Structure 1
């Protein structure tokens, strides 16, 4: 079947390899996803058609079985009436129906095999679709991350950013200069207080020195 051949070709395709080679992985992934979903849809539609055929074969085989039983009964009736000619004719019809049943059984076997193959392919296609959707999500996240990083770099390297940085540095210089001026005023205002503090320290030091001399003299006198 052409459909099964097409599905097998899609399934055998290495999706990751195709995406790696693509100039636009996002577009390639979208096209692949569309093709996979179309194949899955066709696969399911074909499976539904085969299931209908299979049910028809089962019904036809069951009808043939009933007719075989009827011809068997007719053949027995003909024998009971000494009508071998009619009995033989009934048995011929019975054989024809048996042949029909055999044919229907063979057709049903082929349909069952085709349905099993389609079910297997549908499962594989569904898995590939899921994997591709995950890949698409990864692409989108990566693309969004790159866009944010690019915008950040553009802002950091923009003339406006550099100009703002320079203005901020100039403002900081002005603030530091003002702080220095304030500190210089405070140094001038505290000079008198520092002088009195130094005088008090010198007086305390002189007192300690005189006490030490007196102690030494007393020790020598003793």
Structure 2
């Protein structure tokens, strides 16, 4: 269990180091997430090494058990043949391999215990990482929304009033233009002929009638 304890000590030390270095909460949270990712990678490498060791000990246990069984058969055969010296040698080798087998099995049990602890730690860190990642994402969205609301609230009221007055003046100008257009549509003059031109033609006709009347009077006299 020394591996797990050491990993936890490293994680705690890294976290305290982060707290000392960071002042911005968001930056600290992101760094903390990266630290967790690094710890997951470290533990995963240790876990992979322990898995390889487990397989090696499984092979050793199988081979040692086979040798011990073989020496037992050799000892039995030597006893049947009354070859006591050979039987003693076979029994001695069998006992030695049985001790090795016991040692290998104890080591395998320790490795499997460490594997279980490492796996639990990996699962815990992954769940922690996911939870903190989701919380950071949610808090970031909340922070952006709060900043947007604050920015909108800080928009000067006089600017809003100026914009409203500007639109009011524009609307009034449009109404005057529309009213002028409506009046012109009701006037009895040919389309496309300016009012000034119509007034000038009326003046010419009046002057012409006056001239005709004057000329007619002279001719009658």
TM-score range, shorter chain: 0.5 to 0.7
What's the offset of the Cα at 1:174? 8.7
| Superposition RMSD in Å | 3.1
Residues 117-137 of structure 1 deviation map (CA, whole Å, 9 limit, x = unaligned): 111111211111011111111
SS of alignment partner, residue 109 of structure 1 = helix
Match of 1:197 in 2: none
What's the offset of the Cα at 1:82? 2.1
TM-score, length-normalised on structure 2?
0.66
- Measure, in 2, the Cα distance between the counterparts of 1:104 and 1:2: 19
- Measure, in 2, the Cα distance between the counterparts of 1:163 and 1:121: 62
Match of 1:185 in 2: none
Q: How many residues align?
A: 171
Match of 1:46 in 2: 46
- Where do 5+ consecutive residues of structure 1 fail to align? 179-222
TM-score, length-normalised on structure 1?
0.66
What's the offset of the Cα at 1:102? 0.5
- Measure, in 2, the Cα distance between the counterparts of 1:34 and 1:50: 24
Match of 1:163 in 2: 162
Matched, 1:115 2:118: no
Q: Aligned ranges for residues 59-70 of structure 1 at < 5 Å?
A: 59-70=59-70
Match of 1:90 in 2: 90
- Measure, in 2, the Cα distance between the counterparts of 1:90 and 1:32: 60
Match of 2:209 in 1: none
Tell me, yes or no, if the aligned pair for 2:11 and 2:39 is still in contact at 8 Å.
Answer: no
